[in-house]
Amino acid sequence: MSRISTVAGAVAVALALVTGTAVAASAAPIDQAPGTAEAKVDPVDWKPCNPDPTKPDPGGYDCAVYPVPLDYDNPDGEKVGIAMMRHRASDPSKRIGSLFMNPGGPGGSGYLWATTTRFGDEVRSKFDLVGFDPRGVARSNPLKCFKTQEDADAVNNRMVGVPVTKAEIADTLDADQDYTDACSKNAGPLIEHMSTINVVRDLDRMRRAVGDSQLTFAGFSYGTLIGATYANMYPNKVRAIIVDGNVDPNLRLHNGLEYDRQRAGGFELALDEFLKRCQTAGAPRCAFGEGDTRAKFDELRDHLRTSPVTLPSGKKVTLSSFTSEVASALYSQAKLAPLAKSLQASYQAMNPAPAALVAPKAAAADADADLLSVEVPRALREAPADSEYAGDDSYMGVNCQDKPYPSNDKVFANVAKTWEQEAPTFGRYQAFDAPACASWPAPARDAERFKGPWNKKTSNTVMVIGNLYDPATQYKFAQRMQQELGNAVLVSVDSIEHCAVGRSKPLNALVTRYLVDGTAPQPGQLLKPDLEIFPAV
């Protein structure tokens, strides 16, 4: 999600909010006038398919490409194909309907989510699980700013994830300008129609196309914005909506810069909790747990601001690779113990002990530090292996249309100085997530966006899920989501991780009853994850 990790960064100096000319979209269903029958659409033309052609066909899967209008102001004009996959309900006699899913990003491919095991057996037996790539993503008419991978690398390789020096900042901003120039030249008309409101319109068409009278949906991370927008555009069509790992819809759609500043704060909160729990577990349960974990981490990070760390393997840990990998690891509880090993190995490489004192075990552990030498990609990527350009540019395509930013890219360098005072690890990293939006060919200030209201009374309660230490969408975003929606309940999980469904048996029991029976969970519940971060050795 986000530069995968920021995947995907208030300053008063920042800069006043971008004042835009975009008009909030009507909260009424796009294809249905009040008091009239729902407009019919063509059904999905499903064909049997194998989700992994390299393996025997498991059966039970179908695929389709469903056409939707490129521009909903011209519904009979050019179409965009939405790639869909479904896993048919394993007990057709008890089938309830379709469960649509979006994994986030924006730019995350949801196509193979039809194969997910995040939901329990009862859900999979009673629902068709439907994954799809939103418009502009992966298999669904991917938004492409480059013709070849060579062209893309020539621009992207000049960007520094966490630029510190004047030269790094200037090179990164120049590359961002070249990136948006390429988008303007190569992306085509789709770039004008990537905002979330269009994804939601597509989703409602798909809902009707599979024959469901109301929507059942699970959205993760950015997918929570899809869910919240649907709930307010089509409040009477909500059967069950789960939003897990929540954005703050109102803030995101009105002030991209402030939203990113608060995102940086969420990563800092998650990191701080990780270091505290590592300290409490101590070594060897947490490999980084000997001594003062906070002081060690800060020493390592601050060293990297001026000098890389060379590992025994010869690879180098830079500030950018370090920051992006730490951010990425915080997304998944399963990555936290390996992160601790990587941090300790890097710390030892920065402070090498005399050779005579290095135990064989300590030397072997240095290999773990290689994880911190690889910079996480700027955005989620998935494309056929034989593509001339292996990526798509949907991450920026959606964010720059949804989130209003200043049109002067120098703003991002200015706020980086302020943000890193309050978010020393992730402030500068997050500040340089979106300079391309300053010169994006179809920016939010000119785009059609749904900006609220967010408090429509839905026909059924929306289930909001938040981890206490979610790095990418901090817990207070989940609290705000519940407060902003007109009919929602919040369930919390005491976990350092991004999103929670499938990670807690008590939570999944609530999810199953909500999806199957429509029973909304009782508010105020705080649940535990299934796994310990640092299990006893």
Closest CA to 79 of 50, 47, 131, 42: 42
How far apart CA 501 and CA 527 sit, in angstroms, is 12
Q: What's the pLDDT at 350?
A: 95
Q: Which residues of 464-489 are buried (b: 16+ CB within 10 A; e: fewer)?
A: bbbbbbbbbbbbbbbbbbbebbebbb
Cβ count near 408 (within 10 Å): 12
- Residue 59, domain CATH: 3.40.50.1820
> Could you tell me the pLDDT band of residue 373, with boundaries at 50, 70 and 90?
confident
> Could you tell me the pLDDT band of residue 390, with boundaries at 50, 70 and 90?
confident
pLDDT for residue 120 is more than 80: yes
- Look at residue 57 and tell me if it is in a domain: yes
Contact present, 167 and 175 (Cβ < 8 Å): no
What the block records as the tokens of 354 is 């005399």
- What is the average pLDDT across 435-446? 94
Does 235 sit behind a cis peptide bond, omega within 30 degrees of 0 on the bond before it?
Answer: no
> Could you tell me the pLDDT band of residue 361, with boundaries at 50, 70 and 90?
very low
For the CA atoms of 391, 394, 395, 401, what is the dihedral angle to 10 degrees? 150
Tens digits of residue pLDDT in 218-275: 999 999 999 999 999 999 999 999 999 999 999 999 999 999 999 999 999 999 999 9
- Look at residue 403 and tell me if it is in a domain: no
Domain stop point among 373, 397, 428: 373
pTM: 0.91
Examine the domain organization and report whether 201 and 331 are in the same domain.
Answer: no
Examine the domain organization and report whether 277 and 349 are in the same domain.
Answer: yes
> Could you tell me the pLDDT band of residue 374, with boundaries at 50, 70 and 90?
confident
Domain stop point among 333, 357, 373: 373
- What is the average pLDDT across 91-110? 96
Per the structure, the complete domain to which residue 338 belongs is given by 257-373
CB-based burial label for 320 (10 Å; 0-12, 13-18, 19+): buried
Q: Calculate what percentage of the chain has a pLDDT beyond 90.
A: 83
Q: What's the pLDDT at 353?
A: 73
Examine the domain organization and report whether 241 and 344 are in the same domain.
Answer: no
Examine the domain organization and report whether 122 and 208 are in the same domain.
Answer: yes
- What is the average pLDDT across 368-397? 71
Q: Which SS3 state, helix, strand or coil, does residue 87 take?
A: strand
- Look at residue 187 and tell me if it is in a domain: no
> Could you tell me the pLDDT band of residue 3, with boundaries at 50, 70 and 90?
very low
- Look at residue 468 and tell me if it is in a domain: yes
Examine the domain organization and report whether 235 and 330 are in the same domain.
Answer: no
Chain mean pLDDT for the chain: 90
Tens digits of residue pLDDT in 135-177: 999 999 999 999 999 999 999 999 999 999 999 999 999 999 9
- Number of domains comprising the chain: 2
Domain stop point among 373, 396, 418: 373
> Could you tell me the pLDDT band of residue 36, with boundaries at 50, 70 and 90?
low
